[in-house]
Amino acid sequence: MVKKFYITTPLYYVNASPHIGHSYTTIAADCLARYMRQAIGKDNVWLLTGTDEHGQKIERAAQAEGLNPKEFVDATAVQFKELWKALNIFYNDFIRTTEERHVKTVQRVLEILFEKGQIYPAKYEGWYCTPCETFWMQTQLKDLTCPDCSRSLEKISETNYFFRLSEHQDWLMKYISAHPDFIKPSSRYEEMARFLELNKLEDLCISRPKERMGWGIPLPFSPDHVTYVWFDALINYISAVGSFDDKGKYESQWWPADLHLIGKDILRQHAVYWPIMLYALGLELPKTIFAHGWWMIGQDKMSKSRGNVVNPIDMVNKFGVETYRYFLLRDVPFGLDGSFSEESIIKRFNGDLANDLGNLVYRTLTMIEKYFDGNIPERGVFVKGKQAELIEEKINLINKNGIGLSPSVITDCNFSAALKEVWEIINMANKYIEDTKPWNLIKENKTDELKGFILVLVDAIREVAIQIHSFMPQTSESIIEQLGKDKIKKGKPLFPRIV
RNA sequence: CGCGGGGUGGAGCAGCCUGGUAGCUCGCAAGGCUCAUAACCUUGAGGUCGUGCGUUCAAAUCGCACCCCCGCAACCA
């Protein structure tokens, strides 16, 4: 097991309010971080999230609301923080790209790379749509009109700064083929490996002239330019957890990251640009980059233009945090796309949470109440049936592999499979009750058997509560509490069925 | 055109790499039970595994060809 675990979410771009996609990545990261805190100690885990706040899109979004960019991002960043609170996200740090610590590091990185000759100025030629304020590459165009607004484009040529991506292709390809865990899941790994095989990397334009786009970090060696997107945003992963000294040496107790969780849309930036930037700086590469899938809304892609964006807060208000977290992590294997609908949330809720888990807890507590006056029977040597042994075996097995997530499950972020494992205990327990028929035991005065039976259930439920802690912290705690130490504190059903 | 993913009982998926009684969840039907949130447990119905050809004693699984769906433009996890 690793000694420290540094996990990140992407920096969310704050040109609009957070949606379920943002919450998905962050909940997954929170779940892993919670799991790892239990496994290796809370001081050894660092979960970083934050917001990406520069760029033209934000400049324009701010304008649309009649705010200056800073006012605008301040307001949106708060929305993200509030959402994380509502979703019970426990992060160690929240970095904003407008913060001084970040700006300084970005400029330092630019400086170092410029001195090393990794960044160079060159004339940049392309087609510009003035009304849209958008720059188009030749390859994006069918004719000389703007793909967005169809107005005619203007050819402009300006000096910009470029990062020498192209000269790094060889070692990156070798690195990737030597590190099968670098990009996950494996389908994405193949995708990237093939991309590098089939395409030649071109140097990356990393600047914009200030007069055209002012809301960004100025290049230290050319104050008339600001950095452009990725050179700003990606650096947060190091700017938040360390700094460069005068000699350009980076110091950090957390770097390299153990896991960058990202959506599949930004895989190339993380799997190609970012490693090359780090390599050029002489820094270690992250251990693993995991690209998860997207939530579709029914069959459709979620997008602002379609107007089908789902607000996580609405879902939380409707179904509760715990259900929302459970649904996202359970319904679809991490890595694949999922189909989001209230209907499927309700299905999961009624099936897994109300009928299986909630009802198991409730019926067990009721039996303890009725048969033992609310006292959990004392431990003793009781005759165990075969089923009881199977349940105990299962519990031990899962315990041995570490809090319900076997090592492969954790490294492959297979939340869904982990929960399935846990639910097997639940199903076994429900079946065990059915087969043991405690209502007959009580009639026949078989108290010892009844005690043994209840203890098996109590153990099973405790185990389940521990297992689900990273996924549904509140539910876990509530179950432990209701079970009490010796005397139960039965409450209302955990998940009252939605009719 | 090309690239990637996919087509398995009503729905969603696993199985395919390493050929050999087609499995899971939900839904549906019948039954059982009463500790429980009309919940839980059991059983059952329902599939030419996209199409065709080939390899093989044997193909959902391997090979070839074809058909259909999704993504490969932008905002964005």
More confident residue, A435 or A408: A435
Instruction: Flag the least confident range among A2-6, A252-256, A271-275, A474-478.
Output: A2-6
pTM for this entry:
0.93
What's the average model confidence in pLDDT over A333-359? Answer: 91
Query: Which residue in A99, A32, A109 sits closest to A70, CA to CA?
Result: A99
Q: How far is the CA of A186 from the C1' of B61 (A)?
A: 21
Mean pLDDT of chain A: 88
What's the average model confidence in pLDDT over A258-267? Answer: 89
Nucleotide nearest to A190 (CA to C1'): B4
Chain B positions with any atom < 7 A from a protein CB: 3-5, 12, 14, 25-27, 32-42, 71, 73-77
Nearest residue (CA) to C1' of B11: A344
Q: How far is the CA of A357 from the C1' of B39 (A)?
A: 11
Nucleotide nearest to A306 (CA to C1'): B75
Tell me the C-alpha distance between A38 and A495, whole Å.
26
Q: How far is the CA of A303 from the C1' of B60 (A)?
A: 36
| Neighbouring C-beta atoms of residue A360, cutoff 10 Å | 22
Instruction: Flag the least confident range among A11-15, A229-233, A392-396.
Output: A229-233
Instruction: Flag the least confident range among A56-65, A301-310, A320-329.
Output: A301-310
Q: How far is the CA of A188 from the C1' of B40 (A)?
A: 42
Complete DSSP assignment for A271-291: IIIHHHHHHHHTPPPPSEEEE
What's the average model confidence in pLDDT over A208-237? Answer: 88
Helix, strand, coil in percent for chain A, rounding step 5:
50, 20, 30
What's the average model confidence in pLDDT over A453-467? Answer: 94
Nearest residue (CA) to C1' of B27: A347
pLDDT at A405: 54
- Judged on CB neighbours under 10 Å (0-12, 13-18, 19+), A52 is buried
Confidence band of A48 (pLDDT split at 50, 70, 90): very high
More confident residue, A126 or A321: A321
Confidence band of A362 (pLDDT split at 50, 70, 90): very high
> 3-state class of A7 per DSSP?
strand
Confidence band of A373 (pLDDT split at 50, 70, 90): very high
Residue A429 has pLDDT above 80, yes or no: yes
Model pLDDT for residues A89-124, shown as the tens digit of each residue: 999 999 999 999 999 999 999 999 999 999 999 887
β-pair type (A222-227, A207-209)? antiparallel
pLDDT at A132: 59
Model pLDDT for residues A198-209, shown as the tens digit of each residue: 778 888 888 888
Residue A140 has pLDDT above 60, yes or no: no
What's the average model confidence in pLDDT over A373-378? Answer: 93
What's the average model confidence in pLDDT over A311-336? Answer: 92
pLDDT at A338: 86
Instruction: Flag the least confident range among A112-116, A303-307, A347-351.
Output: A303-307
pLDDT at A47: 97
Tell me the C-alpha distance between A183 and A195, whole Å.
13
Tell me the C-alpha distance between A70 and A36, whole Å.
36
pLDDT at A78: 94
Confidence band of A255 (pLDDT split at 50, 70, 90): very high
- Judged on CB neighbours under 10 Å (0-12, 13-18, 19+), A373 is exposed
Residue A142 has pLDDT above 80, yes or no: no
Q: How far is the CA of A415 from the C1' of B49 (A)?
A: 28
pLDDT at A411: 66
Q: How far is the CA of A152 from the C1' of B32 (A)?
A: 75
Residue A422 CB partners (closer than 8 Å, separation 6+): A398, A404, A464, A467, A468
pLDDT at A408: 58
Q: Which helix (H) or strand (E) holds A122?
A: strand A119-129
